[in-house]
Amino acid sequence: MIEAVLFCLVTVASSFIGSMLGIGGGFLIVPALVLLGLPIQEAAALSLIAIAATSTSSSIIYLPKGMVNLKAAIILELFTVGGAIIGPRIALALRGEILQVLFGFILLYVSYRMLRGGKRVGEGAFARRRNLLSWAIAFIGSFLAGVMAGMLGIGGGIIKVPILHLLLGMSMKISVATSHFMIMFTAITSSIVYLLSGLFNGEMAVAGAVGAIVGSQIGGRIALRIKAEHLRRLFGIVLIILAATMFWKSLHP
C-alpha cells in the first residue's frame, strides 16, 4: 500500500511535467520505481500504463480545441506502433548501456536544436515542408521512438515532439498536443506486450493511472497558458537532464 501511494505521487508529478511538454513522463517514473525496489522490466510496464493514462487524459483536453494534427498523428503512429511492439521483445536481448549512451547523444543534439530556436513556424510551414525526404526521416524517427518507448518504458515524446516541431514545422503547442495523441497508442501497445509477459501489479497499476490522470489534467491546462517559446526552452532543458540520466545509467548499470 505504501509503495502504491508513493507511486501515485510520483506519477502526479511526472504526468504534470509530461503533459506540458508532450512527453509521457517515463523518464521520472522508471527510475523512481527502480529505487522502490522493482525490477526494471516491471518498472517499464507500470510506467507505460501510467503514460497511457496521461496521454489519454491530455488528449481529452487538446482534441476539442483542435490542437491535434490527426492526419500526421495517424500516419506517423503506424510506424511508432510497429516499434512499440518490437521494443519490449528486444529489451533483454541488447546491452542497455550502449543504447543509453547513443540515446543520450541524440537527446543532447535535439536539446541543442530546441534551445537554439530559430524562426517560429506553424501549420502553414508544415504544409510547405511536406516533402518525401522529411516524411522518410519522420517515419524512421517514429519507428525508433516506438522501439525506445517499449524498451525504456517511456512514451517516445522526446523524439516525437522534435520530429513534429523541427522536421515537419508544426508549432510547439500543436507538436505537444499531437505527440500526446500518438503516445496514447504507443504506450497502450507496449503495455499489452509487457502485460502478456506477466509483468503486472494491479494495485500499482491503478495507483499509477489515477496519479497520471490528476497530474496530466493540471499540466495540460497550464500548458495552454504558457508561451510557446517558454515551452520550447523548457523542453530543451528537460532533454539535457534526461541525456545526463542516460549517461549516468550507462556507467552504473
Q: For 214-218, what is the mean pLDDT?
A: 84
**Average pLDDT value over all residues in the chain:** 78
Q: Show the domain range for 25.
A: 2-251
Share of the chain above pLDDT 90, in %: 7
Residues 98-151 have pLDDT tens digits of 666 766 786 787 777 667 765 444 444 444 445 778 888 889 989 988 887 887
Q: Give 212's pLDDT tier (boundaries 50, 70, 90).
A: confident
Helix 172-196 to helix 70-90 angle, to the nearest 10 degrees?
Answer: 40
pLDDT value of position 130: 55
* Cβ proximity of 7 and 207 under 8 Å: yes
pLDDT at 76 over 90: yes
In the predicted structure, residue 84 carries a pLDDT above the cut 70: yes
b/e 119-141 (16+ beta carbons within 10 angstroms → b): eebeeeebeeeeeeeebeebbeb
Q: pLDDT > 70: what percent of the chain? A: 82
pTM of the predicted structure, to 2 decimals: 0.73
Amino acid at 166: L
pLDDT at 104: 74
Stretch 38-57: mean pLDDT: 82
pLDDT band at 181 (very low <50, low <70, confident <90, very high): very high
pLDDT of the residue at 124: 46
- Is the predicted pLDDT of residue 205 greater than 60, yes or no? yes
pLDDT for 192 beyond 50: yes
Average pLDDT of the segment spanning 5-31: 76
Beta-carbon contacts of residue 196 (< 8 Å; ≥ 6 apart): none
pLDDT for 89: 75
Least confident span in 1-15, 27-41, 116-130, 142-156: 116-130
User: How many DSSP H helices and E strands does the chain contain?
Assistant: 11, 0
pLDDT at position 51, please? 85
CA distances from 236 to 4, 33, 134, 202 (A): 31, 25, 22, 35
Please state the domain count of the chain.
Answer: 1
